[in-house]
């Protein structure tokens, strides 16, 4: 029962982080648009604006990637397979999930991926997740996960 309770808490953490990322991404996009409209000045100003654009773009890319991982974890919760290693099918320890709530591999299998012993494709089907996937804001509400 303790694992189910911990997973419910992790679900709340994932939902809150998802909301924060959606807001941050909306802010990053508006900031980039605002900066491109205000492009005036000399070559140095232009270089600084370009550097800022690149930084904001990289931050938005990282946030989008994290959001995709969170969406995948929430989908796994719906399916009832959250917390299972996608390579060996064992339970991922709660300490790992608390540190990285969207982890899809146990530590042992993650090490094997990093060492090239097993293929990173064992880490689920990520072909359907992309940084350009539009966010369905209606899905930001609650849902009933299956903890079978």
> What's the domain count of the chain?
1
6 pLDDT above the threshold of 90: yes
Which of 64 and 32 is assigned the larger pLDDT? Answer: 64
Q: For residue 53, what are the domain limits?
A: 2-138
CA separation for the pair 147, 77 (Å, rounded) = 7
The pLDDT value given to residue 123: 46
**Proportion of the chain above pLDDT 90, given as a percent:** 46
The mean pLDDT of the chain is 79
In a domain, 58, yes or no: yes
In a domain, 116, yes or no: yes
In a domain, 143, yes or no: no
CA separation for the pair 84, 91 (Å, rounded) = 5
DSSP summary character for residue 120? G
In a domain, 145, yes or no: no
The pLDDT value given to residue 129: 42
Summarised one tens digit per residue, pLDDT across range 26-51 is 876 666 566 556 656 677 777 787 78
CA separation for the pair 50, 118 (Å, rounded) = 40
Mean pLDDT of 87-96: 94
In a domain, 19, yes or no: yes
Dihedral sign, Cα of residue 6, residue 12, residue 14, residue 16: negative
In a domain, 106, yes or no: yes
89 pLDDT above the threshold of 50: yes
Half-sphere exposure of 63 (CA within 13 A, CB side): 20
CATH code for position 120:
1.20.120.910
The pLDDT value given to residue 33: 61
In a domain, 133, yes or no: yes
In a domain, 94, yes or no: yes
The pLDDT value given to residue 131: 44
The pLDDT value given to residue 1: 58
**Proportion of the chain above pLDDT 70, given as a percent:** 70
Mean pLDDT of 57-74: 91
The pLDDT value given to residue 79: 94
């Amino acid at each position: 029962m303790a694992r189910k309770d911990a997973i419910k808490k992790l679900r709340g953490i994932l939902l809150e982080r998802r909301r924060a990322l959606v807001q941050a991404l909306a802010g990053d996009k508006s900031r980039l648009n605002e900066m491109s409209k205000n492009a005036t000045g000399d070559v140095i100003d232009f270089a600084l604006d370009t550097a800022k654009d690149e930084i904001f773009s990289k931050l938005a890319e990282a946030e989008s990637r994290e959001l995709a991982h969170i969406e995948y974890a929430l989908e796994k919760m719906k399916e009832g397979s959250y917390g299972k290693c996608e390579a060996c099918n064992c339970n991922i320890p709660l300490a790992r999930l608390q540190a990285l709530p969207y982890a899809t591999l146990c530590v042992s299998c993650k090490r094997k991926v990093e060492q090239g012993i097993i293929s990173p494709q064992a880490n689920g089907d990520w072909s359907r997740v992309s940084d350009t996937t539009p966010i369905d804001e209606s899905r930001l509400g609650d849902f009933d996960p299956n903890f079978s």
